[in-house]
Each structure stands twice: as structure tokens, then as C-alpha cells.
Amino acid sequence: MRLLVIEDEHRIAQALKEGLEQESYAVDVCHDGEDGYNTASADEYDLIILDVMLPGMDGIEVCRKLRAEGNHTPILMLTAKDQNHDIVHGLDAGADDYLPKPFSFEVLLARVRALMRRPNESIGEILKVGELTLNTNTHEVKRSGQSIKLSSKEYSLLEYMLRNKGQVLSKNNIMSHVWDFDANILPNTVEVFVAYVRAKVDKPFKDAELIQTVRGFGYKIGENS
């Protein structure tokens, strides 16, 4: 899943990027409101972490403009401590949740996970297809009770496919939700990573293959071909 962090304090922005990348998210960073707004409207993100106090266009304005143009990406707003008017204005402008600074990274992660579940209430912390399960809290992946060890990118790819199970995903869809802006990847890279995931998730098991190639379109994860 791919996140955009809009935060002018470089130290906090960098810490968020590194911490979130360790959790297998792809992360892009913008340091001012204008750039953040342009990036958020130009690309497909799964979640935006948006600081309220930004030079130029502030976080509230960024949020309002995105919502006004029909962008429904979940937004977690970072507010200054005890600034109730920021919280009220932020939520009124269309933010989904807020977190006062300073915050604990653990709490931020929990909020991120909760917001990612929200678009589809039926999605719990465990994503499942057939006998394959992925726990979005612990990052454990299992098939038929057997643990599967995935690299960070493999995990991220599988998570994205499971969140969209049954749907055909193009290589472009996959690239824009699994890799960040700076990653120099080609459609071919997607093929390579799908092959890695298949080798671990499908190949060792006798049951039907879960990851299917839809020729000319992309890939799909599901129980029947």
C-alpha cells in the first residue's frame, strides 16, 4: 500500500518515511502544501498523512481542495497538541482521523491500519482467500496453516492483491500502489515480483493456484480461474 506524507518538518517526515517503509508501505514525502496537494491529486494513494501547519497552503486547505474534487483517499491529519480548532476544522474539511503531535509511532501505525480497513467495513485485520491468510497487524502470511516468509515488497504486493481480490489488476495499478515515486521500476519488475510471490504462495501447495494471469490485462487473486 502506498502512502503520501505531507509534512514540512524534515526530521519528522524522514522518521515517518523510514518507519512506515519498515512496515512494508511505499512512502512518498512532500514538504509543503502546494506540492502535497499536486502530488495527491496526480497519483493514486491509499492513505495521506497530512500535517496541519504547512508553509503556503495549510493542511486544512489541502484537505478541502482534495475532497472538493472528489478525492476520497483516507486522510490522517497531524495536529498541534491541544489545538481543538485544528481538529474541528480538519474533520470538517474532510479528514478521516487526526493525531495530535507529539505522537507515538505505534499509535500512528494503528490509526493507519484502522483507516485502511475503513473503506470496506467487512475487511478485518486478516485478509483471506481460500486457505491463504495475511495478518495486516503482525504481517504473518500462512497457507493451509503453514507460515510463508515474504520480503517486504512481496508482502506489499500480496497485501494489495488481497485487498482487491477477485479484481483484475493491471501492472500500472500494482506499480502505483506498491512502489513509491522514486522507485525506478518497469512493468517487467511487476512480473518478476509476481513470480516471486507465486513461487512462495502457490507453487509449494497442491491446491489450486490463487494468483492468476489475465492475459493482456494483468493479474488477479481468487479461488477460481
Report, in Å, the least distance between residue 51 CB and Ca ion: 4
What residue type is 50 in one-letter code? L
CA gyration radius for the chain? 18
- As a whole number of angstroms, the distance between CA 193 and CA 28 comes to 21
Which residue number, 58 or 96, has a Cβ lying nearer to Ca ion? 58
Sign of CA dihedral 165, 24, 75, 38: negative
Report, in Å, the least distance between residue 9 CB and Ca ion: 5
**Residue facing Ca ion at closest CB distance:** 53
- As a whole number of angstroms, the distance between CA 164 and CA 162 comes to 5
Beta strands in 56-214 (DSSP E): 75-79, 97-100, 126-129, 132-135, 141-143, 146-148, 211-214
Report, in Å, the least distance between residue 109 CB and Ca ion: 20
Binding range to Ca ion, per CB under 5 A, among 46-54, 101-109, 113-121, 139-147 = 46-54
Binding range to Ca ion, per CB under 5 A, among 50-58, 66-74, 131-139, 209-217 = 50-58
Query: Are 28 and 6 contacting, i.e. CB atoms less than 8 angstroms apart?
Result: no
46, 51, 154, 159: which one contacts Ca ion (CB under 5 A)?
A: 51
Q: For residues 59-98, which are near Ca ion according to CB under 5 A?
A: none
- Which residues lie below 8 Å from residue 89, measured CB to CB, with a gap of 6+? 60
Which residue number, 78 or 158, has a Cβ lying nearer to Ca ion? 78
Give the ranges where 69-170 is alpha helix by DSSP (H). Answer: 84-92, 105-117, 152-163
Which residue number, 15 or 168, has a Cβ lying nearer to Ca ion? 15
53, 108, 114, 126: which one contacts Ca ion (CB under 5 A)?
A: 53
- As a whole number of angstroms, the distance between CA 136 and CA 3 comes to 15
Which residue number, 10 or 118, has a Cβ lying nearer to Ca ion? 10
Sign of CA dihedral 178, 179, 181, 187: negative
Q: For residues 165-184, which are near Ca ion according to CB under 5 A?
A: none
Size of the site for Ca ion (CB under 5 A): 3
Binding range to Ca ion, per CB under 5 A, among 1-9, 38-46, 167-175, 193-201 = 1-9
Q: For residues 4-43, which are near Ca ion according to CB under 5 A?
A: 8
Which residue number, 63 or 134, has a Cβ lying nearer to Ca ion? 63
Which residue number, 28 or 51, has a Cβ lying nearer to Ca ion? 51
Which residue number, 53 or 108, has a Cβ lying nearer to Ca ion? 53
Q: What share of the chain is helix, strand, coil (3-state, %, to 5)?
A: 40, 20, 40
Chain residues that interact with Ca ion, rule: CB under 5 A: 8, 51, 53
